[in-house]
Amino acid sequence: MASRTGASATRPLLGTGRGPAGRAAALGRPRPPLRAALLTLLAWATWREDDTAAARLVLCEAMTTIDSDYTLAQHLHQGLNQDVPVARSLEVFRTTAAQDHADYGAALRTL
């Protein structure tokens, strides 16, 4: 295994930590329009691992400092706060996505 030298030798490798902090480091610094989406996905993954406290923190970061209008983050945060089981949230998202897809297809057929 090659060793690191110089300034990079003193910094830990990105994403080597455990938990959401390590995963967030692996994301680096995405452009501002993508940050809320990436943090929301990170929160979802964290929630699925049953770490609701970390998921709440990541969602708060996504909503308060990046994009307060990011709807998916709002819905996930609401589910966390109401103790909705993560499996039930996934079921709701899948049902909603299927309905949206059907509505979009119907709208296209009317054109």
Say if 98 falls within a structural domain. Answer: no
Contact 79, 90 (CB under 8 A): no
Residue ranges in the chain modelled with pLDDT below 50 = 1-4, 6-16
Name the domain count of the chain. Answer: 1
Collapsed DSSP state (helix, strand, coil) of residue 5: coil
Say if 29 falls within a structural domain. Answer: yes
Give the integer Cα–Cα distance in Å for 78 and 69: 14
**pLDDT computed for residue 57 by the predictor:** 92
Collapsed DSSP state (helix, strand, coil) of residue 28: coil
pTM over 0.75: no
**pLDDT computed for residue 69 by the predictor:** 84
Say if 103 falls within a structural domain. Answer: no
* Structural domain for 31, as ranges: 22-85
**pLDDT computed for residue 29 by the predictor:** 61
Say if 4 falls within a structural domain. Answer: no
**pLDDT computed for residue 53 by the predictor:** 92
Say if 94 falls within a structural domain. Answer: no
**pLDDT computed for residue 54 by the predictor:** 92
Helix spans in 49-85 (H)? 52-61, 71-81
**pLDDT computed for residue 28 by the predictor:** 60
